[in-house]
Amino acid sequence: MPAIAQEVNIYTTREPGLIQPLLDAFTAETGIAVNTVFLESGLIERVQAEGDSSPADLLMAVDFGALIDLVDAGVTQAVDSDVLESTVPASLRDADGRWFALSGRARVVYAAKELDLDSITYEQLDDEQFRGKLCIRSGQHPYNTALFAAYMARYGEEATKTWLEGIKANQARAAAGGDRDGARDIAAGVCDIAVANSYYFGLMASGAGGDEQKAWSDAVKVLLPTFEGGGTLVNVSGAAVAAHAPNRDEAVQLLEYLVSDDAQKLYAEANFEYPVSETATVHPIIAAFGDLQPDSQSLSDVLPFRARASELVDEVNFDTFGN
């Protein structure tokens, strides 16, 4: 009887095409086939409905809150791996091994190139010098609620509400659109600064988004904000081994491969994301921002503040321009 071919099945909320080069490289190195199922939404519900017979081995998500939601829903299992624990910083993984970050994206500030501004803190986003000069996407987007929750974890609810009111007062237009729109609007003179994710700049500056977006990137410089006395907020994409993984060993092997320097370099080249491995190479476009110092506050410690941060966004009418 022929041997059963090894495989690993991924359920992912991330477009599989973004990580396909890494999966192909894993298969070429190990002979283990990788099958992906893309689920834009309903990942937890699908795995729960499949129960013990679920074919899912690895669950992938693009936000730390979504990773913790997987754990809370009971659809993951703990992994004890020296490779993962020695490679992924403690602040970017679950203390009990139930999820691990695979790549990072910093919440940065795009600034007009001619602007006399070389550094900024997150606390300064409400500064009066930026009245009517700031662009940002919806406050309810996970990228922003993660930032707001991290602020609340530091300073408490009342201070966060005041800060959000200041950021709202600084808006040059309604909080809407995507992060790349901030660069577009800086280029058009609508705003002087914008809050955005680091990898979008790479996509624009590399030409991956076309000539128009390349022109947007040419109009801005990227600043790495920090919290006062802290570092830069880094959100993550990551993965967890499914609770009933039929190919558990292969899933762990794939996780360990994805944090190897070779795979982390592929992450950086394909998506302009920060590697989680400290020894992996950062793409030159991203490295040009300067030395990233990730904030030491654990993402797990930020999570309890996410729901209240979302409520505060509505309470201050963050997304309603001028009111």
Helical ranges in the chain per DSSP H: 16-30, 43-50, 64-72, 82-87, 142-155, 157-170, 179-187, 198-205, 211-218, 248-258, 261-271, 284-287, 299-302, 306-315
Question: pLDDT-based confidence at 96, cuts 50/70/90?
Answer: very high
Question: pLDDT-based confidence at 5, cuts 50/70/90?
Answer: low
According to the model, what pLDDT value does residue 1 have?
31
Least confidently predicted of 22-26, 91-95, 102-106, 214-218? 91-95
CA angle 256, 18, 307 (to 5 degrees): 80
Binding-site residues, in ranges, read: 199-200
Q: Quick: pLDDT tens for 112-144.
A: 999 999 999 999 999 999 999 999 999 999 889
Which CATH superfamily includes the segment(s) 7-104+235-282?
Answer: Periplasmic binding protein-like II (3.40.190.10)
According to the model, what pLDDT value does residue 167 have?
98
Question: pLDDT-based confidence at 2, cuts 50/70/90?
Answer: very low
Asked whether the predicted pLDDT for residue 61 surpasses 70, the reply is: yes
Q: Quick: pLDDT tens for 146-181.
A: 999 999 999 999 999 999 999 999 999 999 999 999
Contact 288, 205 (CB under 8 A): no
CATH number belonging to the domain at 105-232+299-315, selected among 3.40.190.10, 3.30.160.40, 1.20.1090.10, 3.40.50.1370: 3.40.190.10
H or E segment to which residue 238 belongs: strand 234-241
Least confidently predicted of 5-19, 107-121, 203-217, 247-261? 5-19
How far CA 15 is from CA of 106, 237, 299, in Å, comes to: 20, 12, 23
Binding-site residues for Fe cation, in ranges, read: 199-200
How far apart, in whole angstroms, are the C-alpha atoms of residue 146 and residue 169?
20
Domain residue ranges of the chain, discontinuous segments joined by +: 7-104+235-282, 105-232+299-315
Mean pLDDT of 267-273: 85
Contact 34, 22 (CB under 8 A): no
Q: Quick: pLDDT tens for 272-311.
A: 999 988 888 899 999 999 999 989 888 878 989 999 999 9
As a whole number, the mean pLDDT across the chain is 93
How far apart, in whole angstroms, are the C-alpha atoms of residue 313 and residue 266?
36
Count CB atoms within 10 A of the CB of residue 49: 9
How far apart, in whole angstroms, are the C-alpha atoms of residue 113 and residue 229?
26
The domains spanning 7-104+235-282 and 105-232+299-315 adopt the same CATH topology = yes
